[in-house]
């Protein structure tokens, strides 16, 4: 009975080792170097006691045999999955370029399933959801659902890449214009401006945030800065007009 339990325990350990092995293979590059890396890594992990027992030479040999047995097949499947991920990404972008945001959103879900830590995919997901939400003029519940998806997607993009200015700005736009929560946009815009000091769109939006949160004097300062900067002409005209309007509100027409 004891021998049987030992064999069962050994089989379980071998199965667990193979599972860990496959995880390492999924992240591997060069086959020869990867094989050595797999053995070294698995051996290193098993140096500490596992369920009261230590790894032995026999287990290492079993791991080597399993690597030889499964590596080519796993590499083939990983490559196929990578190709599928590229397909979904390309399809999503083409749909977006054509203004087909619903179809793009579906493709992005598939791409994210393959690449769950790609910040740009979440940024695109947020963009599609926000565009679709804006179009839901007759269905407030669906609109709210899409805006939640957009917010969460942008947040995930920023969590994966804290200096992704596009995502910081897009989330700020959502807070200011769609969700009526301008105060939440302020730290995002300030973070974006730390990365890109001359991002005039972010500066203009920050001025609007100041105005909407009852700090008109600070808004005027930013508009004045943009109006006298090297920003595009239209932005400078908009900044000058906004500055003039706020000053008239504060001090009256002269």
At 95-135, the pLDDT tens digits run 999 999 999 999 999 999 989 999 999 999 999 999 999 99
Q: What is the pLDDT of residues 48-100, one digit of tens each?
A: 444 555 566 677 677 677 777 777 766 777 676 777 778 888 898 899 999 99
Confidence bin at 11 (pLDDT 50/70/90): very low
Q: Are 178 and 147 in contact (CB under 8 A)?
A: yes
b/e map 153-183, b = 16+ CB within 10 Å = bbebbbebbeebbbbbbbbbbbbbebbeebe
Structure-block tokens of residue 222: 């930013």
pLDDT at 43: 58
Rg (CA), the chain: 27
User: pLDDT tens across 167-180, in order?
Assistant: 999 999 999 999 99
What does the angle CA 218 – CA 223 – CA 229 come to, to the nearest 5 degrees? Answer: 130
Residue in 115, 117, 146 with CA at minimum distance from that of residue 130: 146
| Distance (Å, whole) CA 48 – CA 128 | 48
Residue 5 vs residues 1, 12, 46: alpha-carbon distances, Å: 6, 10, 20
- DSSP assignment string, 206-237: HHHHHHHTT-HHHHHHHHHHHHTSSS-HHHHH
Distance CA 152, CA 216 (A): 30
Q: CA geometry: angle at 30 spanning 27 and 32, to 5°?
A: 115
pLDDT tens per residue, range 184-235: 999 999 999 999 999 999 999 999 999 999 999 999 999 999 999 999 999 9
Cα 242 to Cα 248: distance, rounded to the nearest angstrom? 10
For 140-157, what is each residue's pLDDT tens digit?
A: 999 999 999 999 999 999
* CA-closest candidate to residue 225, choices 239, 215, 237: 239
With cut-offs at 50, 70 and 90, classify the pLDDT of residue 2.
very low
């Amino acid at each position: 009975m004891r021998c049987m339990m030992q064999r069962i325990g050994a089989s379980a350990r071998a199965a667990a080792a193979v599972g860990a092995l496959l995880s390492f293979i999924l992240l591997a590059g060069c086959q020869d170097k990867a094989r050595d890396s797999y053995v070294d890594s698995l051996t290193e992990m098993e140096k500490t006691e596992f369920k009261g027992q230590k790894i032995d030479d026999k287990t290492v040999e079993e791991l080597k045999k399993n690597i030889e047995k499964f590596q080519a097949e796993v590499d083939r499947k990983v490559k196929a999955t990578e190709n599928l991920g590229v397909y979904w990404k390309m399809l999503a972008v083409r749909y977006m370029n054509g203004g087909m945001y619903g179809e793009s959103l579906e493709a992005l879900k598939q791409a994210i399933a393959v690449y769950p830590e790609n910040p740009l995919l979440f940024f695109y997901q947020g963009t599609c959801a926000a565009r679709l939400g804006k179009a839901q003029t007759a269905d407030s519940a669906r609109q709210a659902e899409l805006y939640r998806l957009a917010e969460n997607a942008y947040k995930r993009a920023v969590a994966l890449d804290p200096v992704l200015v596009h995502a910081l700005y897009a989330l700020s736009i959502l807070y200011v214009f769609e969700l009526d929560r301008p105060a939440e946009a302020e730290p995002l815009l300030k973070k974006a401006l730390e990365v890109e000091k001359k991002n005039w769109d972010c500066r203009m939006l920050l001025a609007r945030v100041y105005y909407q949160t009852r700090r008109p004097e600070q808004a005027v300062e930013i508009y004045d800065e943009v109006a006298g900067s090297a920003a595009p002409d239209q932005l400078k005209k908009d900044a000058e007009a906004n500055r003039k309007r706020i000053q008239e509100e504060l001090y009256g027409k002269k």
